[in-house]
Structure 1
Amino acid sequence: MNGVPKELVISERQIAESLAESSGNPWFAWDSYRRFIQAYGMVYGIQRDTFDQLIKRHKEQAGINFKRYFTGDQMRAVALDYKRLVTEAGIDLIESPMEQLFLAIKKVFSSWTSKRAMDYRKIIGISDDWGTAVTIQCMKFGNRSRESGSGVVFTHSPKLPGDTIRLWGDFTIGNQGEDVVSGLVKTLPISELQREIEKRDTKISMETRFPKIFEQLRRIVQQLIYEGGWNAQEIEFTFEGPEPENLFVLQARDLSLRDRKKIAKFDAGSDALEAAFLGQGIGVSGGAMSGRIVFTLEEIDGFRRQDPNAKLILVRNDTVPDDILEIDAADGILTARGGLTSHAAVVAYNLGRTCVVGCENLICNEEDKTCELNGIVMNTGDFISMNGYKGTVYQGQMTVV
């Protein structure tokens, strides 16, 4: 979306309580309310990290690592804590769903002139004279149960040549689509072929875990491409259950496929690569590259002043749309979280940056300007190497051919 608006889900406390009762799943109802409160607060300037720290404290108190292990009452407490955070920030939470709807429409329109959107358009080359549209849809819930989920599918593989339809992308179980595109959750591959080629550290793909949803997606894709004559597509979807009728397509747009070029490789033997190996992520774009580690835009600018030709790799736990300037300024991106279809991955691919995401063993401390991978602690300016095609990460500087 050229305006890069926040997504808002229409909900409020009474609706959440009614949804908890009618669905018989309080966790789902209060998780949905929590998500709404967070989206509402972020539109008014509260940082995502503030909410992340709050839910982290609740996880520590409950002795769990993942929010799906909260009880319904615990998730209710989290949601109400989110609401307290927003109201204490002086933000008026409108309780009327209709008023919320019109507020959301206005916020999407006004997002066109936000700094983030203007930076994005300048980098991508989109005119400021256009505008953004608003789509109003009936809400579908990928967080309804462990038999539901959301994802993004490409109709063609960005890694394999030819016009053959191959379902490729990311999905997640028990989450909403914003979790996938924001790059904040571990994602799973769509097809078995993708899982094998990308060497994903999982035995699960949509093709095996939700075969009926996979086949329904394939039928929809074939209808669009073969019967409708559409170009290759990027499709966002949600499913509320495992049956074909539970699948909902939220949006489809033309898939950006770059011209294939010869992929750079490391000029090193297999023994040397094995000795320097640090970790495996998901290869998004580019080939082999070596560069210095950076964590901020200021560090990128500093190295550029010293050496305009320096190769720099931005290392993060995750990247969100607000990081567009950092992604554009760096030569490579390495993240601990996120998948092939996250905002950062898509932008990096479109900009031709070397990118590896979802390197799960990576621990990044952006405040201390350090990161750790495979027991090796690295600092700003240290050399690291990675392969944007294979998703592999190595210690030190290597010659690229």
Structure 2
Amino acid sequence: MYCRVCDSTNLELAIDLGSQPWCNHFLKAEEIGKEPFYPLRVLYCHDCGTVQLDYTVKKEIMFGDHTYLSGVTRSLSEHFKNVAEEVDNNFFKDTLGKSVLDIGSNDGTQLKHFQALGYEVLGVESSKTTAKIANDAGITTLNEFFNLDVVNRLQRKFHVINAAGVFFHLEELHSVTEGIREALRDDGVFVVQFLYMKRIVENLAFDQIYHEHLLYYNLNTIEVLLNRHGLSMFDAYLSPIHGGSIIGFVTHKGKKEQSDRLQNLRQSEVEQKSNELSTYLEFAQRIQQMKTENLTYLKQAKQQGKKIFGFGAPVKGNTMLNYFGVGTNYIDCLVEKNELRRGLYSPGMHIPLVIEKEIQELPDIYYVLAWNFKKEILSNNQHLIAKGVEFYFPVNPQDV
């Protein structure tokens, strides 16, 4: 195997989460037990420090058509609104004919907020169902996998290019990054939003490791990739979204000075050894301990006769359920808002999904898999907490 970022062969196993199904493959009843399993292992590159999966499930399988929708969660839409306003205020407030390209644009939620600010918008989304939802809502969206070939066919450049939660998905990593460079105006800004591996480790949020996430970036490692393609990050900050994400601002190399806050974040990675193998080996040990603690909690709850439902059915929740071996022996169902998942079952553990508004009886415990929206969940469910329903967060970061 070659490092996905720097092509080195100096790679070492850091984390092994066993054999798991593709976690976004929610199953129909007739598919139960027929889903394929793949290795879920994280390797460390000794040359550039990037951590990455060693096995690639083909992008056509994972992203050709899926059920994830950005617009379902209010706090995510609000985050996207804030990003759009921030980009506009800082860079293009009085620009005429301003334009934005969103890579992996999903149902168009991010682009709606740019559109409201007067931008001409274009989305590129690989999932057929979600691309149609976006087009039906008036957000022009190409149903394709973004890469250099798409850019060459478009033959246009954009003031803003956005990639939210997709840059760690990329099987065609270098073609996509080169495409971004080609499609970005000389004065343009590429906004890259990605799960911050430093925070994943700090939060013990190992469930954010799954087959769709081929790479796990820190600031020092994503810069290796950007520099390779003539791009450079000039500013960044840590957002609480998804338990800790970097919102990075990138342009053509040599165009802008790096901000103090970006340099401070980078220095923190050095001081805390965030890009060293020892940090990831320790992380792997903590994951094993977390498994023991969670199984103990669930066993005790069942022995006390308590009814347990899963709260949310995020893709990452399936990493946790499969690694822990938690199925209907502990959790009766997964309660979900997303109508596209009606009547489906979780991959691997085969827990039935139930739409939230159709719940007939309350559980004693909600085991919260959608922990990254903790504040919103607790705020929306005070009436259940008052009735004695416990909300248990297996991952419990303090700033979400």
**TM-score between both structures, scaled by the size of structure 1:** 0.28
Kindly indicate whether structure 1 or structure 2 has the higher relative contact order, using CA contacts under 8 Å at least 6 residues apart: 2
